[in-house]
Amino acid sequence: DPTGTWTSRTSSFGTTSMIDVAYDGSTNFVAVGYSGKLATATDPTSTWTQRTSSFGTDAILGVDYDGSSTWVAVADVGKLATATDPTSTWTQRTSSFGSTTINGISYGNGVWVACGNSGKLATASDPTGTWTQRTSSFGADTVYLAKYANSIWVAVGAGNKIATATDPTGTWTQRTNPFTSTYVRSIDYGHGMWVA
């Protein structure tokens, strides 16, 4: 119950910052963070085990699961890796970001969307294959994360920008919002409402 008591657990990250966490809905929780750290747990209240991430010492900034077979993690300097078993091998892929930092990764409606610095946003139907850069409508502003729910994608970023798209491979439209020159770092949907 998130309105009740939160209990601190031993994460295996030591003093290293943890950035993101994802769950496959049945078996594995995956947490990622700075210094290339990636840990998994079957029970998040118990043991978290550090895994070999293939990111070296680069900060891992996002992780997500497609609900059936594939995990994707993204990081500094344009790195993107995939795994079918997050406790085992993570394979580096060509991301199309060059050396630009990738801040977030999300899956929805058959498409992966990766978001990065300098207004970069890329999509892929198969994350182990080709990633295609798209026009994000963020200009040169950082895109932090995109999420899909209720038949629409929503992306957020620097410069108080929020954009929507029904098809992430097509047009992203900037929306009026109340953030006024503030970085919008995250977005999520639940119970009929989007929260940024």
CB atoms within 10 A of CB 4: 6
Task: Provide CB contacts within 8 A for 48, sequence distance 6+.
Answer: 9, 10, 11, 12, 13, 31, 39, 40, 41
Per the DSSP assignment, residues forming a β-bridge with 29 are: 23, 41
Q: Which pLDDT value is given to residue 125?
A: 98
Per the DSSP assignment, residues forming a β-bridge with 73 are: 63, 81
Which tens digit of pLDDT belongs to each residue from 163-180?
999 999 999 999 999 999
CA dihedral 192, 117, 131, 52 (to 10 degrees): -90
Q: Which pLDDT value is given to residue 155?
A: 98
Residue-wise burial string across 148-172, b where 16 or more C-beta atoms lie within 10 A, e elsewhere: beeebbbbbbbbbbbbbbeebeeeb
Which tens digit of pLDDT belongs to each residue from 10-34?
999 999 999 999 999 999 999 999 9
Q: Which pLDDT value is given to residue 5?
A: 97
Q: What is the mean pLDDT of residues 79-88?
A: 98
Q: Which pLDDT value is given to residue 93?
A: 98
Task: Provide CB contacts within 8 A for 193, sequence distance 6+.
Answer: none
* Residues 31 and 14: beta-carbon distance below 8 Å: no
Which tens digit of pLDDT belongs to each residue from 31-51?
999 999 999 999 999 999 999
Residue written as token pair 């031993």: 10
Residue among 136, 111, 137 at smallest CA distance from 124: 111
Residue among 108, 100, 195 at smallest CA distance from 156: 195
Please tell me the distance from the alpha carbon of residue 59 to that of residue 74, in angstroms, as a whole number. Answer: 9
pTM: 0.97
- State both tokens at 172: 């992203």
What is 109-120 written as a DSSP string?
TTEEEEEESTT-
Is residue 181 pLDDT above 90, yes or no? no
CB atoms within 10 A of CB 81: 23
Which tens digit of pLDDT belongs to each residue from 97-136?
999 999 999 999 999 999 999 999 999 999 999 999 999 9
